[in-house]
Structure formats: C-alpha cells, structure tokens
Structure 1
Amino acid sequence: MKSGVLADHQIRAMIAEGGIAASSPILNDQVQPASLDLRLGDTAYRVRASFLAGKDRTVTDRLDELTMHRITLTGGAVLEKGCVYVVPLMERLSLPQGMTAAASAKSSTGRLDLMTRVITDHGVEFDRVPEGYDGPLYAEICPQSFSVVAQPGQLLNQIIFRQGQTFLSDAELAAVHAETPVVNGEPVISEGLGFSVDLKPRTGDLVGYRAKRHTGVVDLANLNHYDPAEYWEEVRTTEGRIILDPGAFYILVSREAICIPPDYAAEMAPYLAMVGEFRVHYAGFFDPGFGWDGAGGAGSRGVLEVRCHEAPFVLEHGQIVGRLVYEHMSERPTALYGRDIKSNYQGQGLKLSKHFRSPAS
C-alpha cells in the first residue's frame, strides 16, 4: 500500500477484511472521503477525572478505579457540563504494522465546545492509536459550555488511518500551492499553512459568538432546532480587534479561504504558544475536497473554536492563530467533500454548529 492517509474505498476494504470491526454493522455514511465516523455505545461512565490508560494498563482497569456511576444512554441521557464521561465506542481496530490512526472531534462537536477525545488500552496519548493496535476504542467526553443529551450511535468523533509517512514538507506544500492554490492570497508556510482570524468582515460588524454561561441543554439529535440567542452572545467590533475573556469560548472565522485538493487531507494544529494564551481548535480534520468544489472556486473559510486561558488577551484582525498541516492521500477518494457527499460546512463563513437555527439578520 502506498504511503498516505487512507481514502474511503481503502477504509471500506479494512472493514471488509476485519481491520475495523464493530458491535453493530458499520453504516455506509460513516465512511467519509478520508475518515471514519465513530459511534457512541450504549453506556457512559461518569469518572472522577480525565485519564490515559498508560502503557501497562487497559481502560477497563482505570474505569474500575475512577468510575463514580454508570449511565445508560439508550433513550437519551444528559451529560452535564464540567463533568467527565467515558463511553465505549461501537468500533474497534486491528491495525497492521506500519499503519497508525488519529482521531479528532467532528466539526459540530467542536463548535458545541464538547471536548471529546479517543482513548485506547495501553494508550499514552489522546487521539492517537499506535501501529499494530488491536483492541477497543473509547470516547472521553467533557461538555465545556453546554450540557448535552446523548444517545447510542451518535457521531462525535472521527478517525483517520495513516500508512507510513504522510506529511508534506514546507517545500512540497509550496509546490502544491504553485500548481493549485490552497489559499486565496499569499500563503504563509511554516510547518504547515498558517491562517489568521477575520475581525473585519466585508459587511456589518459581527465577527463571532461567545457561549453564554447558563443555558439549557442541547439534545444532539436536534438539528436546526435551537435559537442561537438562548445559547450565544454576538461578538461585534468596528475596530478590528476583540478582547478574549479568560475561560470563555468563542466561535470565530479565518480570514483566509482554504482549499484541500483531492489528493490531500489536512489537520488543523495549534500555532506557537508564544503568540498568546489561547487554544484555537478542538476539531481538526479537513477531508479532500474541502473548499475545492461547490464553493465557487474561492475555497471555504475555517471556523475557529477559541478558548482563552489565564489572562485577557487582545486578538487583532489578521493575527495568525493556527496552521493546517497537509498530508498525502494514499489514493484519491472515490467521493469528495462538498461534491459527492452531504457537507454541512462547505463554502462556509462564520457558522455555528448544525444544531442551531440560522441567526436572525
């Protein structure tokens, strides 16, 4: 197999061969152009604290030590803000040598400030599965801004599979941009493609949203349902800058429109910590075709999920806040994001998760 991120048809081959198995048959629409959506099982364990299993232990071992109580998700159950839960996933892996996997929250999960990470038996990192891993997968879930109602089978995490070396060097990325622009304007390439925040919209003064501190629950099954005004405060500025409040969660948008050509995938990564004490993302994978088709050739802007840490921080228009690390695909997918599959965020601008109705203009 050629080095790179596995494409949809290669993931389906893994399913057919037993490298990916599940307690319930894997559904066709779980397979994305370069990733697989993972489903919640029917039980959640409320635990005292976040944890990694450690190289000599299993997740079950740690649950025996740390579980406070067990919750059945069948029919829907509330996962409370500020609490930590571990949910066994329906899928399990049996990876060959030379292949690793990496997980991330799905876009809508990140936009809800629903911190969710995949952990494994003998794991020493969140969201990373080592080569040769043979075992179950678990989601650690910690709602940060809103309590949520979750049910079995819901899709909060996604996983990609990497065969060998996948990442592009800066020189390779520059060559790709020269042939097929990956961003509008001049690229900032340094260990990936840098992107900045847009605080000077073309029209109006709305630049983002800040999560309210005291809200109702969000039922993850309800799409296009909730009034944004009940959960979010609008962030407006005419000055091209805002002050981030410590502990607050923001939805902002990148200034750049980004394209992921069909033979590549990308992962959003944090920028250097020296630029400010804030985190700029929770959801990280960009499928082949993002911004490529269905966006008028102009690309799609990246939504930024921002949390400020210890001190208030002034964020300026055009400030670089993150980077996209591009990866080779092992093969071109049979379906592309935005053209061949349903894509909620193709051609997006500033946009909340799909659970909220479009804000009144």
Structure 2
Amino acid sequence: MIAAKNGILPVQNLRELFAEGAITAAREPDSDQIQPASLDLRLGQVAYRVRASFLPGRTSVEEKLNDLKLHEFDLSHGAVLETGCVYIVPLQESLALPNDISATTNPKSSTGRLDVFTRVITDEGRAFDTVPAGYNGRLYAEISPRTFPVLVREGSRLSQIRFRRGDPLVSDAELATVHDEHTLVNGGDELIGGGVQLTIDLKGEATGSLIGYRAKRHTSVINVDAKAAQHPLDFWEPIVNRDKPWLVLDPNEFYILVSREAVHVPPMFAAEMVPFDPLVGEFRVHYAGFFDPGFGHTGVGGRGSRAVLEVRSHEVPFIVEHGQTVGRLVYERMTERPETLYGEGIGSNYQGQALKLSKHFKTNV
C-alpha cells in the first residue's frame, strides 16, 4: 500500500499502482515505460479519424466518437497520421485511481519536438490532460501532427502521465530556498516568480554558431519508434547567430530553440514547464513539459541541462529577443526519492543536453 503522503508518486509507487490494479493494461509494462516520476502511455490497436477536437463533457469518449468519427483503422502494423488531421486513439492503460490520487498528462519530449500536438482525454472529461482523483475508466489520446506526417503503431508512446496526492506545488518563497541549496538554474538571470523563469538563447557560442532550427514543410514521414533514423537537414533548416540578438518568428512556422539557463531537478522534486504569460507576445512555447527527478542533476554526472523550447508564432510575425522570458519551470515535491533518477542507465535521451533535436534524428552528420 502506498504511504499517504502528499507529493508526486515516484517509480516504485507507480509499480505498486500496477500491482494493486489502479493502473491496468492488456500486457505488462515495457521495460523502460515507467520513468522516475511518470509513466509513458501506449497507443492501442485502433485509431479514429475525427472531424474535430472535442471534450466529452457529460458523456463518454466512445459516445462522442459515434457522432464525430470519419473512419477507423488498425495500428497493429503501423499507419501514417497526416498533418492537419485529428485522430483519437484509445490507450492501452486504464485507471481505477484511489480517491486521493489524481493525475496530469503531457506529450513526451520527443513528441513535442516533432510538433505532434497530443493531448489525453477521459470519459466525461471537461479539461484536456487532467485526470480527476478517483477516476475509473479508459484514457484516450488526441493526436494532430502539425508539421511532419508520422508513422505510429500499436504500442507507440507519445504521451506520459504523472500521478500526485494532494497539492505538492512548491511556493516561490520555498523555491528560493531550494534554489539557494541546489542551484535549480544557472546561466541566465535566475528569476523566480510563479516558478523559475526561463529565457531564450539567441547568441549561442559566437557569431555563426547554431542557435536553433526551423522545420521544413512537405517532408517524408517520421517513424516515431525509430531512433537516429533521419538526417536532420531533410527536415530542418539550421538557424545561426548572424550577430543579431533577435529572431523573427514567421506565422504558423515551427522552431526548435533553447533556454539560456541550464536546468537542475534535484532527486526529491519533479518539475514542469508551463507558459509564462499569454499576454507577452504572439507566440507559444509548445511545452512538452515534464522534467523528472535527476534531470541535469550533478549526482548523475551532469551540471545542468538546457531546456529545449518548441516555439510557434501565432497569426502575425513576432520578434523574440535574446534573454526574453518564454516560460516558467514550476517544481513539485516527491512523496519519496525515486529508486532511479533521470539519466541513471534508463535510456534517458536528453540528459546533459544543449540545443538538441528529438531522438529520431542522427547526431553525427
């Protein structure tokens, strides 16, 4: 039985949720599916193309699908999800949560870096990516590729879920104390307000150095389960420092940029990137937002890892400047230290990262 302590549940508690039947699935978890403070969610066998995104409200997702689905197709042997379309896929994992445990979901880092817009919905759900305490039912992924068509199959993992008891959010006053003790970020202005503020790096190492990528259009398909399979220049235009401390974001284009700050998540904390303020400009950071305990942690050989930013402008061109605040990192307490930390031999792809594309692209080219 999981100890009744407020906080984010670590890997050992997630295994207990499986053992107790609070999380169920048709087959056993994959060997690397349970992360230090989150669980990857696997696509099921069937996908539905739907007319539009929706929230179930007072009905089940299946009832909504009966009204909105255009066609259904099998994912057993893989299928391509096209850009500009909306798909609903029942997930393999179902929940029967205790009344004191709730959950939130987010795209996996690799999903966000491909500009695949992914959200999780529940039966009678009134908000995306939110699972109320005591929820008993199935989970569904809403998937809409924005830039690249993607090949997915049954078992592909695009989303992740984090479980919590109570409200473990660390206040700004507490966060300042934690920062003094553990150095949560360094290399920027180190501002705390609604979480640790993150700013954008548009200078890189020097004039002519790489500072980001802009996605190309009309590319080939990306297999979401294949690592280091694609040449980056087939999908991305490199952006270099041209001795200008600003960048014009073109409307509806997708960019990969990086924070000035190196981020550190100590073992007894988990973090999430959230929007800074929708009123500060005509752009959004496509925050694939979970940072697990141990991200950038010195105890596993790192000295902080940069936060990669998935950025998209809205309806008009918008200028972002070097050092401009683009997001906030909020921290929550763990119920206990995870048995394994991010980067401790568990296949973590982004430990010690700087500017980096998703795991699908070759690095030594």
Q: TM-score range by the shorter chain?
A: over 0.9
Per the alignment, residue 38 of structure 1 pairs with: 41
Q: 1:208 aligns with which of 191, 198, 212?
A: 212
1:247 aligned to 252, 256, 260, which one? Answer: 252
Mapped contact 1:253–1:303 kept (Cα < 8 A):
yes
1:91-170 alignment, distance < 5 Å: 91-170=93-172
Q: Which residue of 2 aligns with 1:332?
A: 337
SS, match of residue 174 in structure 1: helix
Shift of 1:221: 2.4
Equivalence for 1:270 = 275
What is the CA-CA distance between 1:205 and the residue it aligns to?
Answer: 2.6
Corresponding letter in the other structure for 1:13:
E
CA distance in 2, matches of 1:326, 1:43: 36
For 1:85-96, what aligned pairs fall within 5 Å after superposition? 85-96=87-98
Three-state SS of the structure 2 residue aligned to 1:63 is helix
2:182 alignment partner in structure 1: 180
TM superposition shift of 1:294: 6.9
| Structure 1 Cα separation of the partners of residues 314 and 261 of structure 2 | 25
Find runs of 4+ consecutive structure 1 residues off by over 2 angstroms. Answer: 293-298
Deviation readout 1:155-212 (Å, 9 max, x if unpaired):
1100000100110000010010111110115521101000000001114432111111
Residue 22 (structure 1) aligned with residue 19 (structure 2): no
**Unaligned residue ranges in structure 2 (runs of 5+):** none
Partners of 2:121 and 2:216 in 1: CA distance = 29
Partner of 1:223: 227
Q: 1:95 offset after TM fit, Å?
A: 1.1
Separation in 1 of the partners of 2:266 and 2:345?
14
* Percent identity of paired positions between Structure 1 and Structure 2: 57
1:306-336 per-residue CA deviation (whole Å, 9 max, x = no partner) reads 0100111111001010000100001110000
Corresponding position of 1:59? 61
Change (3 A) 1:110 1:214: same
Q: Could you tell me whether the CA contact under 8 Å between 1:45 and 1:71 is conserved in 2?
A: yes
Partners of 1:314 and 1:246 lie apart in 2 by: 11
Deviations 1:221-242 (CA, angstroms, capped at 9, x unpaired): 2210111111111112321211
TM-score for the superposition, normalised by structure 2: 0.96
Give the partner amino acid of 1:8: V
Measured after TM superposition, the shift of residue 297 of structure 1 is: 4.6
Aligned-partner residue type, residue 314 of structure 2: H
Determine helix, strand or coil for the equivalent of 1:108: helix
The two structures, once aligned, show a CA RMSD in angstroms of 1.2
1:347, distance to aligned residue in structure 2 (A): 0.3
**Residues 19-68 of structure 1: CA deviation (Å, up to 9, x unaligned):** 000122223321100000100001110000011111x1000000000000
Q: Please give the alpha-carbon distance, in whole angstroms, between the structure 2 residues aligned to 1:317 and 1:200.
A: 7
Pairwise CA distance, 1:359: 6.2
Q: 1:9 aligns with which of 8, 12, 22?
A: 12
How many aligned positions are there? Answer: 359
State the distance in 2 between where 1:131 and 1:221 align. Answer: 32
CA distance in 2, matches of 1:11, 1:102: 14
CA apart distance, 1:298: 2.2
Say which SS state the counterpart of residue 45 (structure 1) adopts.
strand
Q: Which amino acid is 2:357 matched to?
A: L
Structure 1's 297 and 43: CA in aligned 2 closer, same or farther, altered over 3 A? closer
The 8 Å contact of residues 268 and 334 in structure 2, kept in 1 or not, is answered as yes
Separation (CA, whole Å) in 2 of partners of 1:359 and 1:59: 44
Give the aligned partner of residue 258 of structure 1.
263
AA aligned opposite 1:83: C
Displacement, 1:340? 4.1
Task: Pick closer, same or farther for the CA change 1:295–1:244 going to 2, 3 Å.
Answer: farther
Match of 1:347 in 2: 352
CA drift at 1:282: 3.4
2:75 to 73, 76, 92: 73
